[in-house]
Structures are given as structure tokens and as C-alpha cells.
Structure 1
Amino acid sequence: MERIFRFPIKVGKESIDVLGHTNNKEYLRWMEEAALAHSDSLGWTMDRYLGIGKVFVASTHKIEYLRPTFEGDELTMLTWVETMDGAKSRRCFYLKRDNKVCMQGWTEWTFVDLQTGRAADISAEVKKNFPLVPPDDPDLKASGVRRSPSQA
């Protein structure tokens, strides 16, 4: 079970804005792609969520842009689940180019019942597959994360 997931990104021409660097909306897209890929790797594909009639939906994002990225850059998005409590889960993100941090942030996800459209407590079945990585976890430091994005 991969606690801290690494998601490779190569910045394409379509991600570049009129200023010649990556458009801010791309970072949010990459965060979602990394979250879905991590969930898939833990056995929770979108089909599985739909099968139980409950899904995670984003309710809050925080993104801190630290360095611009450019066409052709090869990046690594690190992502991990920091909390799962009630219907809420916080997932952190840390985007690196080489050893330089370009962006950090987090998304708060709400677990939603598709029939009612309302928040639902995250089931034990889901929780057991997502290892939590608290802000002071030594694996974060070993991965090059200086401080958890939730503490920014």
C-alpha cells in the first residue's frame, strides 16, 4: 500500500498560458489526476465508488504556487491522505521539479451519497484502504517534503 504516491507529469504545450508558463488551472487538474491515480492504485476506482453509490467530491482547495513550471518540464506530484474523519478527507499535494518545490496544496474532499446528494460518513471499507500520513510523519521528510502543505 503506497502511503505517499508519486505521479509523474510532463508539462505539454496545452498547459502553457500567454505568459509562457503553466496556467494555474493545470495545477488543479494535476491534483485531481494524481488523487484519482492514487485511489485507483489502492483499489478504489471510480467504478468501485459508483458500485457502492458514494464518491468523494472536492469541497475546498488550497494551492500555493512557489515556482513557475514550463513546457517540457518533468515534474513529480507527491500526494497522500492526511485525514479521514466523518464525511471529510484531506489530501495533500507537493509538486517538485528535480529537488525544487513548485507548488504545494491540499484538497478537502467530502464523501457524498449519490442517491441523496448529501454528505455521508466515510465507511470503514473505504478507510481501511487509505493509509493516513500525518503532518509529522517521517516518511514525508524522507520524500523531501519540508512541511506538510496543510501547515502552510
Structure 2
Amino acid sequence: MPRVLVDRFTVPDAAIDINGHVNNQEYIRWMQDIATAHSSDCGWPLARYLEVKSMWVIRSHFIEYVRPAFAGEELLLATWIAGMDTHTSPRKYRFVRARDGKTLAEAETLWVYCDATSGRPAAIPPEVREAFPVVTEATEITAAIAARR
């Protein structure tokens, strides 16, 4: 179970907008993709959520863009669980340019655990809490990213 999941990928031409850099929507798509992958790696793939009739939904996104990303650049995208409340869990993300380690964007999504039948928020059960360790140490996050460079 990875505490910090780091993915490495190349920005495709299709991700570029009229301004010549990565479109904001792409960042959100990549964030959702890595969150799903991290959940699976922690033992909670989509099929398991369906079995227990639960799901995570997004309440909010916050993204701070620091530098632009361009087609053909190799990026590292890291994600980790930053906390766990009764019904919610903030997940953080960092986009880093692989060649020089510069941070391009930092983001956070507030996920709400819900009953899939009613769509209403539900208490996060112990088996879900135990599967997702909370990471708060900056050194752990930095080390995980550096290991993929």
C-alpha cells in the first residue's frame, strides 16, 4: 500500500489549450485518475466500493498553478491522503516537472464518503480508514517524488 503514489507521464499534444500550455481541465482529470489508482493500490478498487455500496464524491477542488506545463514534457504527479474526518478526506496532489524537479501545481480535493444507494454522506468505516494512511510529513512526500525522478 503506497502512502504516496507517484505517477510519471508525458504530456500529450491533446492536453494543450489555446494558450499553448496544459488546459486546466487536464489537471483535474489527471488528479481523478491518480486518486482512483491510489485507491486501487490501497486495496479499494471500484469493484470493492460497489460490493459495499459506497462511493467517494468530490465536494471541492483547489488548484494553485505555479508554472505551465507543455506538450512532450515528462511530469510526475504525486497524491496522498492529508487527513480523515468522519465523512470527508482531503487528498493532496503535486505536479512536478521531471527534468528539473520544479513544482508546476499543487492541489487538494475534498472527497466525501457516501452511501451509494442514497447518495448521502456516510461515516467512513474502519476498514476504509485503515487502508488509507494519512501523510503529513513534507519530507516523506518530497522523498517519494525524488525516488521517481
What is aligned with 1:138? 139
3-state SS in 1 of match to 2:50: helix
**d(CA) in 2 for partners of 1:131 and 1:42?**
9
Q: For residue 149 of structure 1, what is the aligned residue in structure 2?
A: none
d(CA) in 2 for partners of 1:108, 1:7: 21
Distance 1:51 1:57, change over 3 A: same
RMSD (Å), alpha carbons: 1.4
1:113-152 equivalences under 5 Å are 113-134=115-136, 136-143=137-144
2:6–2:145 Cα contact (<8 Å) kept: no
Tell me the amino acid that sits aligned with residue 139 of structure 1.
E
- 2:103 alignment partner in structure 1: 101
Kindly state the Cα deviation for residue 143 of structure 1 after the two structures are TM-superposed: 4.0
Distance 2:138 2:123 in 1: 25
- 1:9 offset after TM fit, Å? 2.3
What residue number does 1:90 align with? 90
Q: Per-residue deviation at 1:22?
A: 0.5
Distance 2:89 2:39 in 1: 13
Alignment coverage as a number of residue pairs: 144
Q: Does 1:3 align with 2:3?
A: yes
- Partner residue in 2 for 1:46: 46
Separation of aligned partners in 2, 1:110 and 1:100: 31
How far off its partner does 1:140 sit? 2.5
Q: Which runs of 5+ in 2 are unaligned?
A: none
